Amino acid sequence: MKITRISIYQVDLPMKEGSYSWSTQSFSAFDSTVIAIETDEGITGYGETCPLGPSYLAAYAEGARAGIAKIAPDLIGEDPTELDCINDCLDLLLKGHPYVKSAIDMACWDILGKSVGKPVYSLLGGKRQDQVKLFKVISRTDPDVMAARVGEYRELGFSQFQMKVGEDPTTDIERFKKVAAAMQPGEVMDADANTGWRQHDAIRVVDAVRSLASEHDIRLYIEQPCLTYEECLVVRQHTDLPMILDECMESLGVLLRGYNDRAMDLINLKINRMGGLTRARQVRDLCISLGIVMTIEDSWGGEIATSAIAHLAQSTPAGFHFQSSAFHDYHTVAIATGGPVVTGGFMHAPDAPGLGVEPVMDVLGEPLFVT
């Protein structure tokens, strides 16, 4: 099988709640990139990358499209089902920029699954759990509004909540207290600062909220309190609250360093930060070998990226899977049919071959680039 054409599409993903806010950032919509890879055997695969704005990671939407357009011509004639060879080729054509490569790798997995008539989760190890546990993001806003949303989301079937903090520490402490008071025993609060606190502020916050877990009988986690690995490690050594590392977990090397330093209890594994499903699977499998539990998601995306999340998560043993995101459930538009089915606080990966999704071309519009 050979790649014959690659097309690039741009689509905006508006938020149902009007905005999505974390740390010091807020967006009403996200700029996502969808690609279609066509082959000489009539099979087309689809991938998506959505960097979550220009300053969340060292990535941005226009850069993703420019990078894909730069390397796409050199992929013509390659076999998309030879995934390691494709990734070797991507690394030769472009140094770094994993968020550019992610959509290409994802589309190649879609092609491979379609070519053998199997869903991607079967190719990633099989269906190792029946459903994918979800969390619901409580977007950063007024503390009372955030507390009220706990009950709203619980009625939808959620029991795990990712509370966005990382702004003003004093206000964040108030957010912790009010959201914790609205939670029920056994529920999960993952307080995600998205790198927003300075080290001394993070220490102040974890000291102030330490007792909330026992007071309300909830499971309280602190996620990526500071920008750098070193700052997060200091906070980790200061508190006995479980620590999740996210933004600084960008490679196998950092994962091994964190394991050796005992820097975290869990990691957030994001597909496009690793460069696609191929590299994310490597990290996933190493985490299982090391005994590290994972949140499995992506930076953002619609039905295509969410389907990739669901396939990777559903092929992960339940004991090593903490939670995932159903990003397509946050948007006012659907960019594809056949995406993961969300039932309460869980989602199910599509059983159709490949990723199991079919883009809605009326939504994607005309391609911005075609090889």
- The identity of residue 130, as a single letter, is D
Distance separating alpha carbons of residues 252 and 159, to the nearest angstrom: 31
- Tokens 């903490």 belong to 322
pLDDT the model gives residue 55: 83
- Cα distances from 363 to residues 8, 12, 366, 367, in angstroms, run 13, 9, 9, 11
pLDDT the model gives residue 24: 84
- The identity of residue 32, as a single letter, is S
Q: Which of 101, 114, 178, 270 is catalytic?
A: 270
State the SS3 of 195-224.
Answer: CCCCHHHHHHHHHHHCCHHHHHCCEEEEEC
| Cβ neighbours, 10 Å, residue 185 | 8
Distance separating alpha carbons of residues 84 and 105, to the nearest angstrom: 10
Helix (H) / strand (E) containing 33: strand 29-39
pLDDT the model gives residue 9: 98
Note whether 103 and 308 are within 8 A (CB): no
Distance separating alpha carbons of residues 51 and 192, to the nearest angstrom: 18
Phi, psi of 33 (to 5 degrees): -115, 125
**Would you give the end-to-end CA distance of the chain in angstroms?**
17
Phi, psi of 82 (to 5 degrees): -95, 85
* Cross-sheet strand order for the sheet of 266-270: 136-138, 160-164, 188-192, 219-223, 243-245, 266-270, 293-297, 321-324
Distance separating alpha carbons of residues 310 and 355, to the nearest angstrom: 9
User: Could you confirm whether 164 is annotated as catalytic?
Assistant: yes
Question: CA dihedral defined by 206, 238, 298, 53, rounded to 10 degrees?
Answer: 60
Q: Which of 133, 136, 164, 178 is catalytic?
A: 164
- 14 pairs with which residues across the strands? 29
Residues in contact with 237: Cβ distance below 8 Å, sequence separation at least 6, in sequence order:
none
Per residue of the chain (371 residues), give pLDDT as tens.
999 999 999 999 999 999 999 988 899 999 999 999 999 999 999 999 999 888 888 899 999 999 999 999 999 999 999 999 999 999 999 999 999 999 999 999 999 999 999 999 999 999 999 999 999 999 999 999 999 999 999 999 999 999 999 999 999 999 999 999 999 999 999 999 999 999 999 999 999 999 999 999 999 999 999 999 999 999 999 999 999 999 999 999 999 999 999 999 999 999 999 999 999 999 999 999 999 999 999 999 999 999 999 999 999 999 999 999 999 999 999 999 999 999 989 999 999 999 999 999 999 999 999 99
pTM of the shown model: 0.97
Residues in contact with 84: Cβ distance below 8 Å, sequence separation at least 6, in sequence order:
278
pLDDT the model gives residue 69: 98
